[in-house]
Amino acid sequence: MENYEKLVELVAENLGVDQDKVNENSDLFEDLNADSLDLVELTMAIEDEFDVEIEDDNLDSIKTVKDILNYINGK
C-alpha cells in the first residue's frame, strides 16, 4: 500500500470520518472537523506508522492531507 492510501486510512480512522471524505486537498480542520487534540493524536499515529518525527514547530504548517503527505515524503 502506498503512503497516500495508508495516510487516508489513518486520517479517516483517527478523525472518525469515512475514507471517501478524505482526499489530498481535505482541510483537516474545515473539511474533516479536526481540533487541536485530534491533530496531536493524528501526529502520533503518523509518526508510528511512517517512522517519521513531526516537530511541534511544524504542526502549524500542516493544514491538509497533502501537507502531511509532503512531510512524510520529505518535500
CATH code (residue 30): 1.10.1200.10
- Alpha-carbon gap, residue 14 to 10, rounded angstroms: 6
N residues, the chain: 75
pTM given for the model? 0.89
Catalytic residue (choose from 18, 27, 35, 60): 35
For residues 18-35, average pLDDT:
96
Tell me the pLDDT band of 59, cut-offs 50, 70 and 90. confident
Residue 50: predicted pLDDT? 95
Our count of domains for the chain comes to: 1
For residues 38-51, average pLDDT:
95
Is 35 a catalytic site residue?
yes
- Alpha-carbon gap, residue 21 to 24, rounded angstroms: 10
Which residue range(s) make up the domain with 53? 3-72
Given a cut of 70, is residue 7 above it in pLDDT?
yes
For residues 45-71, average pLDDT:
92
What per-residue string of b and e applies to 58-68 under the rule 16 or more CB within 10 Å gives b?
Answer: eeeebebbbbb
